[in-house]
Amino acid sequence: MDTGARWLGFSEAGERELLPNSSLFPQISLVGQGDAMRQSSENSRSSRFVLIGVLIAMLAGCQPPREPAPVPGTPVVPADADPPVVPEEPDEADEPVAAEVGVEPEQPPAVREPEASPAPAPVPDPEEVLERVEVELDGLPLYPLSVAVGPSGQLFVADHHLPGIWQVEEGRWRLFFQGEKTFRTPLNAIRCVVFDPQGNLLAGDSATGDVYRFNQEGQPESLTARDRPLGQITIPMAIAVEAGGDLLVADLGDHRLMRIPAAGGSVEMVADLPTPRGLYLDQDQQLWVISAGRLLRFSPDGEKETIVDQGVFEFPHSVVIWDEVAYVSDGYARTIWRVEPGQAAEAWVHGGPLENPVGLTLDEDRLLVADPRARSIFAIDAGGRVSPLSLEPAAP
């Protein structure tokens, strides 16, 4: 028995071979044994290949042929069952015979008529839509953003979600103007209202990028678009009227302060301002501006001064000057800030019933606040006492 260790070698052709360890068997010469060992290795390798082929053939042969999967709904018929009997179709001569024995001839299946498409919904009448909106709102504003006091003391409120303008008359809400629900139509996205010195109501609209003046018939007239579909302002957030009648507009979309001639027409850029919102002209014709979270003041000569820098307000909207004191509405902080000359801003009114104070205006000895989240107008007296205006819903 060969007990000698073997090591792996390579032939001249590069084939691997197992050779005896010559150090253990020095007396055995390797000469003359290479051919025999090589032949044995080749026979062994050939035998392995043959065995593998036989195994593959056996595995392939033991698998029965697969039958196609039955179609759902098709009965399974055993292989040894008799073939089914297919009845012959009767010809035309057999039909009278079947009728004679009282059997009805088979009728072809009825053809289903295509279902008719539903009729289009009728277009509602605008008057009915208006009445339905008033009922749904229960005569109250949806999202009041701005409030203005008219020459006779009447209140006008811009309702962004109506969209349109409410008028407060004899302690009751009344619909003054309602825009359409279609985008790019006048006052579809009303932002602000204010009165000019002549007692005309002005309104800014971001849906058409325009400012409108209402005529005696209560209809809006474009000031910058005229015969074009869109105006020359993008998002008019606030309007202030100069002594000469020209309008200053805070354009949030273009980050600019714009001027519109009193009679309307081409607009003029006054200043670049980041995110301008509130505007107010005091009795000295100084312009107060809410811009990028700051309270700014411009002199009549155009010099700018920062009154309150960033980091005090959370989300300021509007500003008014009351007895030389600035008041700023802050929606996120639910606060009305008070800024006295040369003093730091202080939280004058904070929290409930205010939920999101946005619009501000003066009404004699009180400050009016438009709060869209509370869907209400609040009055604040000089002592800081807050009370909602007690108004009856609009008549149905």
Last residue of a domain, one of 17, 32, 50: 50
Same domain, 184 and 311: yes
Q: Do 182 and 283 belong together in one domain? A: yes
pLDDT tens figures, 160-176: 999 999 999 888 999 99
Q: Is residue 367 part of a domain?
A: yes
The answer to whether residue 98 sits within a structural domain is: no
- What digits encode the pLDDT tens for the residues 78-135? 445 455 544 444 443 334 333 333 344 445 555 555 555 555 555 555 554 444 444 3
- 178 and 316 inside one domain: yes
Same domain, 310 and 196: yes
Question: Mean pLDDT: which of 55-59, 118-122, 200-204 is highest?
Answer: 200-204
Of residues 50 and 145, the one with the higher pLDDT is 145
Question: Greater confidence, 165 or 75?
Answer: 165
pLDDT at 393: 87
Name the phi and psi angles at 349, rounded to 5.
-130, 130
| Residue 383 shares a structural domain with residue 237 | yes
Q: Are 261 and 370 in the same domain?
A: yes
Query: Does 311 lie in the same domain as 164?
Result: yes
Q: Do the domain assignments include residue 208? A: yes
The answer to whether residue 306 sits within a structural domain is: yes
Domain shared by 294 and 188, yes or no = yes
- My answer on whether 178 and 37 are in the same domain is no
Task: Tell me whether residue 95 is in a domain.
Answer: no
Q: Are residues 147 and 35 in the same domain?
A: no
What residue numbers bound the domain in which 18 lies? Answer: 6-50
> Would you say residue 91 lies in a domain?
no
By CB atoms closer than 10 A (0-12, 13-18, 19+), residue 126 is exposed
Note whether 185 and 307 are same-domain residues. Answer: yes
**Same domain for 296 and 188:** yes
Domain count, the chain: 2
Report the chain's mean pLDDT, rounded to a whole number: 79
Using CA atoms, how far apart are residues 304 and 281, in angstroms rounded to an integer?
Answer: 14
Question: Within the chain, how many helices (H) and strands (E) appear?
Answer: 3, 26
Residue 361 lies in a domain: yes
Q: Is the model's pTM score more than 0.85?
A: no
pLDDT in tens, 22-33: 433 344 343 344
Looking at residue 249, which CATH number applies to its domain? Answer: 2.120.10.30
Give the count of alpha carbons within 13 A of 267, CB side only: 27
